[in-house]
C-alpha cells in the first residue's frame, strides 16, 4: 500500500459486521436523484449514471484513496484499509495509493490526485469530501470511463456519479453527545457551549444531531457555539473567548477531540477544572486516556477503522467481483465515558499486521 504525505497507520479491525443500508429500490434519474439525496438525513438513491460494476478476475485491483488530511482520525481509517488489503491477499491482490492533501482545504491537491488516478485507469477511487463541487467534473469523467467513485466520511453527498457513501451518520454522533447530557443531568438547568469545526456539512450535521437530541429538553441551553477549526489551538482560543462571555457554562461539547483537548486547557487555566463537563468526538487516544484520568467526560467513537475496511470491501465487491453494493455503507457510532471506556480495545489505534504463519 503506497501512502503519500504520511500514514504509518493505526488500529485493529473492528469485529463488528458491516451495517449496510441502501435505497436501490427508488430509482431516480441522475441530477434529480442527487438533489433528493442532498437533504440532511436523506438516503442515497441509485442514479444510473455512476460507473457500473465490473468483473476483473486474476488482476491486481488498483484503488486510489484521498482523505482530507492525514491526521490521527484518518490514520485509523487507513489502518482499516491496510488490514483489509492484508485480508484480501496483500498488495499483489489490491494495490492502494493513498494521497492526502497538504491541508483540509487544499482541494487542488485532491483534484490532482483524482485526475492522476483517472488518467492511469485505476479500478476504483475513494474520496473524503471537503469541496464536492470542485471534484464533481472529475467524478463525472471517472464514471464515463467506467471507474467507480466512492466517498467516505462525507456528511452530505450530492453527486450523481457516486456508487456508495461509506462512513456513518454524522448527525448520530451529535445525538449520542446529547443523549449523554440528558442521561446524566436529567431536568437540571445547564448551559452548554459548542466548539464547531470548519464551516461546512460535517459541523452542521453534527450540530443538527446535537440540537435534535436536546430539542425536547429546554433545561439545556446552548449559549455559545463557535468554529474552532478542528484544531487544539483553535479549541483553546475559542474556549477562552467563550468563558469570558459565558463564565457559567456547565458543559463543553466539541465536534472533534482535538478541539476539546484545547478547550480543557482553557478551562484549567480559568480555574474551572471539574466544574465543566467536556464531551468530545472521535475517541482519539489522548481523549480516551483523559476519560480514564477523569479530565474529559465522554467522547464519540465513529468506527474509523471499520470505515477503512468498508472502503476496500465495497471497492473489491463492485470493481472486481461485479457485485452491486448498497448506496450507503454505514457503521454505528458508540459513546464512551468512564463507565465503559475499559471496553475499548487499544489495538484499534494501531495497524495490526497479519499473524505470521
The three cell numbers of residue 225 are 457555539
For residue 3, name the pLDDT band (cuts at 50, 70, 90).
low
Q: What is the pLDDT of residue 33?
A: 57
The pLDDT of residue 150 is above 80: yes
Residue 22 has pLDDT above 50, yes or no: no
Cα separation, 233 vs 326, in Å, equals: 39
Could you give the CA distance from residue 144 to residue 121 in angstroms, rounded to a whole number? 12
Backbone angles phi, psi at 187, to 5 degrees: -100, 10
With a cut of 80, say whether residue 29 has pLDDT above it: no
For the segment 85-89, the average pLDDT, to the nearest whole number, is 96
pLDDT in tens, 45-64: 888 999 999 999 889 999 99
In b/e form, how buried is each residue of 272-291, taking b as 16+ CB within 10 angstroms? beeebbbbbbbbbbebbebb
Strand partners, 4: 99
- Region 111-120: mean pLDDT is 97
Q: What is the 3-state secondary structure (H, E, C) of the chain?
A: CEEECCCCCCCCCCCCCCCEECCCCCCCCHHHHHHHHCCCCCCCCCCCCCCCCCECCCCCEEEEEECCCCCHHHHHHHHHHHHHHHHCCCCCCEEEEEECCCCCCCHHHHHHHHHHHHHCCCCEEEECCCCHHHHHHHHHHHHHCCCCEEEECCCCCCCCCEEEEEECCHHHHHHHHHHHHHHHHCCCCEEEEEEECCCCHHHHHHHHHHHHHHCCCCCEEEEEEEECCCCHHHHHHHHHHHHHHCCCCCEEEECCHHHHHHHHHHHHHCCCCCCCEEECCCCCHHHHHHHHHCCCCEEEECCHHHHHHHHHHHHHHHHCECCCCCCEEECCCEEEECCCHHHCCHHHHCCCCCCCC
Cα–Cα dist 210/88, whole Å = 38
Q: pLDDT digit string (tens) for 271-305? A: 999 999 999 999 999 999 999 999 999 999 999 99
Whole-number average pLDDT of the chain:
89
pLDDT score recorded for residue 128: 94
pLDDT, position 71: 86
pLDDT at 11 over 90: no
Asked if residue 7 has pLDDT above 90, the reply is no
d(CA 304, CA 214): 26
Q: Are strands 124-127 and 61-66 parallel, antiparallel or unpaired?
A: parallel
Which three three-digit cell numbers place residue 11?
488500529
Per-residue pLDDT tens over the stretch 318-341: 999 999 999 999 999 999 999 999
Q: 312 pLDDT exceeds 90?
A: yes
pLDDT band at 27 (very low <50, low <70, confident <90, very high): very low
Residue 249: pLDDT band by 50, 70, 90 thresholds? very high
Q: What is the pTM of this model?
A: 0.87
pLDDT digits (tens, 9 = 90+) for 185-217: 999 999 999 999 988 889 999 999 999 999 999
Residues 220-242: pLDDT tens digits?
A: 999 999 999 999 999 999 999 99
Indicate if the pLDDT at residue 15 is higher than 50.
Answer: no
Amino acid at each position: 500500500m503506497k501512502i503519500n504525505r504520511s500514514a504509518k497507520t493505526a488500529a485493529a479491525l473492528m469485529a463488528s459486521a458491516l451495517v449496510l443500508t441502501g435505497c436501490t429500490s427508488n430509482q431516480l434519474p441522475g441530477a434529480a436523484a442527487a438533489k433528493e439525496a442532498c437533504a440532511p438525513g436523506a438516503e442515497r438513491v441509485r442514479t444510473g449514471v455512476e460507473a457500473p460494476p465490473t468483473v476483473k478476475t486474476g488482476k491486481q485491483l488498483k484503488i486510489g484513496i484521498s482523505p482530507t488530511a492525514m491526521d490521527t482520525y484518518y490514520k485509523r481509517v487507513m489502518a482499516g484499509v491496510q488490514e483489509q488489503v492484508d485480508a484480501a491477499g496483500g498488495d499483489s491482490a489490491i494495490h492502494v495509493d493513498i494521497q492526502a492533501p497538504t491541508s483540509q482545504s487544499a482541494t487542488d491537491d485532491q483534484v490532482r490526485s483524482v485526475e492522476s488516478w483517472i488518467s492511469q485507469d485505476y479500478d476504483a477511487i475513494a474520496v473524503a469530501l471537503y469541496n464536492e463541487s470542485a471534484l464533481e467534473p472529475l467524478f463525472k469523467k471517472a464514471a464515463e470511463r467506467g471507474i467507480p467513485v466512492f466517498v467516505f466520511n462525507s456528511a452530505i453527498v450530492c453527486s450523481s456519479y457516486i456508487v456508495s457513501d461509506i462512513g456513518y451518520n454524522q448527525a448520530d454522533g451529535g445525538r449520542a453527545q446529547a443523549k449523554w447530557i440528558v442521561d446524566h443531568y436529567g431536568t437540571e438547568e445547564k448551559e452548554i457551549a459548542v466548539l464547531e469545526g470548519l464551516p461546512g456539512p460535517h459541523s452542521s450535521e453534527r450540530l443538527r444531531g446535537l440540537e435534535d437530541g436536546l430539542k425536547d429538553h429546554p433545561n439545556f441551553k446552548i449559549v455559545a457555539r463557535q468554529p474552532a477549526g478542528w484544531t487544539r489551538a483553535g479549541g483553546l482560543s475559542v474556549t477562552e473567548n467563550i468563558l469570558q462571555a459565558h463564565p457559567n457554562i456547565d458543559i463543553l461539547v466539541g465536534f472533534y477531540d482535538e478541539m476539546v483537548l484545547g478547550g480543557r486547557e482553557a478551562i484549567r487555566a480559568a480555574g474551572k477544572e471539574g466544574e465543566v463537563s467536556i464531551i468530545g468526538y472521535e475517541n482519539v487516544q489522548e481523549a480516551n486516556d483523559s476519560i480514564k484520568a477523569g479530565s474529559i467526560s465522554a467522547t464519540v467513537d465513529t468506527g474509523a477503522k471499520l470505515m477503512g475496511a468498508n472502503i476496500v470491501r465495497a471497492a473489491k465487491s463492485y470493481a472486481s467481483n461485479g457485485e452491486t453494493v448498497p448506496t450507503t455503507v454505514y457503521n454505528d457510532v458508540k459513546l464512551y465515558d468512564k463507565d465503559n471506556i475499559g471496553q475499548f480495545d487499544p489495538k484499534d489505534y494501531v495497524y495490526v499486521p497479519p499473524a505470521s504463519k
